[in-house]
Amino acid sequence: MYNKKMQYIIKSVPTDDKQALEDLLNQMSEEGWDLYTMHEVESETSFDFNCIFMRQKQDEEQTDLDDIVNITSFKYRMEKMLAAPSSPYASCKEIQLKISSQKERIKKIKSQLESDHLSPDEKNQLNTQMSDELRQLDELKQSLVNEISPDTMYATIKEEKFVVNLSEEILEVISMEANDNLLAETVKIRQKLADSLGYVIPHIHFHNSDELNQNEFSIKIHDIELFRSYVFPGYTAYYKEELKGYKIESDDIVLTDELTGKKIIWIPQAKVKDFWIHGMTASQYIGKAIETIAVEEVSDIMDYNDVNKYVEKVMETNSFLVDNILPDFMTASDLKYLLTCLIREHVSVKNIVYIFEKINDYAGEPTKEDLLDKVRLALSKHIIKDLAKDGELKVIEFSDEVLEKVDSFFNEDEDESVIRIEASDVQDIGDKICKLAKSKKITHPIIVVPMDIRHMVFVILSEFVPNLTVLAHEELVSECDIKFVGKV
């Protein structure tokens, strides 16, 4: 959080009045103000320097300086207000206005130089000023040339892959001074996913957005918004079901958690008791959303540069595997599909050399889906180990009726190679799974189905059932105690 004990004041002077600027800086320094930042802005009649000064807040409760500002997000507001034009067109128009103004200054100096009543010192001073103004004019002309150049447009053709937008009220979560620091939280998430899944999420860009409501944030992947919710700095979030017996008070905030669909209560941190279960701060909640989206959208986030890094890791250990697999048996696209499918279902690809060995072993499999099944079977012991708790794995089966319904989803029409699935049917099955899981107090339901439909069942049901895992019967290894808790 930015220091709330600071005061800020804005003063303006014309850009062409160097003496006025010097006097202002000296005056403010004598009064104990430090220069925070200075920007050149256009007024109605000229160009001015907007100087922002800061100092520690004075003890007096009142001041006669009407433009002193005390606000957490001061820096962001001022940077937005004084920022350069956002479009090349606006920038071009601004430079043209500056050139026009600069020419007027030069014309004025030239007129003064033509006077016959100038002393040698005055003439030298004007010549020096003319030289300085001509230099500035040349710089402006070069800036205009650069601005209208097509190369400038090419430079704008770029995209931020992973973006978190924050409303102004919650910008403090990315401040270095905040205890609840989102930047540190993202480092923690990146390390967690690297350790558990062998998946390194890319750089995350944080932006202030005017499009969001108060206390709102959103997550975009390739400029497509995939998640939006609210957080409240100074509050701690708890799922309602975790606070049994807690009576909601007027200053609490109750919302529906967009990640799980559960009711979530934001409670002021001053009311939180030490003996309560651990809740989520604003940064931790945003971090949880980042982690969820990073895994769910891995197929859009992981690019071919990322895939190449996995290939390089294998090359360091066993170049034969890479030479034997790529590109004759498997393309980079196939490899990306395999890796992202595994990560999407929380199967670690950290042991990438072993995965390449299995790919090489099953090089005869006809399709990507068949290869995915074989690789998962090879990793089944690792998969079950990660899912089991105290050597026990609780799983849910499909009834014959539901299994028949699911099988019908994948029966293609004779005349069309399109799989048609009614959303209401999938929703009905998803609701049954959630209801059974809730009755058995299972937060991460695990469904067991035949191998040939396992992947597609996950694809269609994961949209309706949070934290869903779908296993094939063949993946249930004997080292773990398998407990069937019910059928849907």
Question: 133-181 pLDDT, tens per residue?
Answer: 999 999 999 988 888 888 777 767 777 899 999 999 999 898 877 777 8
- Segment 283-304 shows an average pLDDT of 96
pLDDT computed for residue 160 by the predictor: 86
Instruction: Specify the pTM.
Output: 0.72
Question: 331-365 pLDDT, tens per residue?
Answer: 999 999 999 999 999 999 999 999 999 999 998 77
Among 342, 364, 341, 362, smallest CA distance to 351 is for: 342
Q: Is the pLDDT of residue 420 over 50?
A: yes
Which amino acid is located at 379 in the chain? L
pLDDT computed for residue 33 by the predictor: 87
Among 188, 191, 219, 193, smallest CA distance to 205 is for: 219
Please answer whether residues 11 and 20 qualify as being in contact, where contact means their C-beta atoms are separated by less than 8 angstroms: no
Please give the angle made by the CA atoms of 18, 22 and 26, to the nearest 5 degrees.
170
Mean confidence (pLDDT) of the chain? 86
Of 59-63, 95-99, 248-252, 479-483, minimum mean pLDDT range: 59-63
Cβ-Cβ contacts under 8 Å for 152 (sequence gap 6 or more): 88, 146
Please give the angle made by the CA atoms of 384, 388 and 390, to the nearest 5 degrees.
140
Task: Give the whole-angstrom CA distance, residue 264 versus residue 467.
Answer: 17
Question: 367-382 pLDDT, tens per residue?
Answer: 888 999 999 999 999 9
Confidence tier at 72 by pLDDT (50, 70, 90)? very low
Between 460 and 151, whose confidence is greater? 460
pLDDT computed for residue 59 by the predictor: 54
Task: Give the whole-angstrom CA distance, residue 408 versus residue 63.
Answer: 76
Provide, rounded to the nearest whole percent, the portion of the chain with pLDDT above 70: 89
pLDDT computed for residue 82 by the predictor: 47
Q: Is the pLDDT of residue 447 over 50?
A: yes
pLDDT computed for residue 4 by the predictor: 47
Between 409 and 343, whose confidence is greater? 343
- Segment 211-215 shows an average pLDDT of 95
Question: 266-290 pLDDT, tens per residue?
Answer: 999 999 988 888 899 999 999 999 9
Q: Is the pLDDT of residue 294 over 90?
A: yes
pLDDT computed for residue 73 by the predictor: 43
Provide, rounded to the nearest whole percent, the portion of the chain with pLDDT above 90: 53
Task: Give the whole-angstrom CA distance, residue 200 versus residue 430.
Answer: 31
pLDDT computed for residue 394 by the predictor: 93
Confidence tier at 60 by pLDDT (50, 70, 90)? very low
Q: Is the pLDDT of residue 249 over 80?
A: yes
pLDDT computed for residue 413 by the predictor: 56
pLDDT computed for residue 352 by the predictor: 96
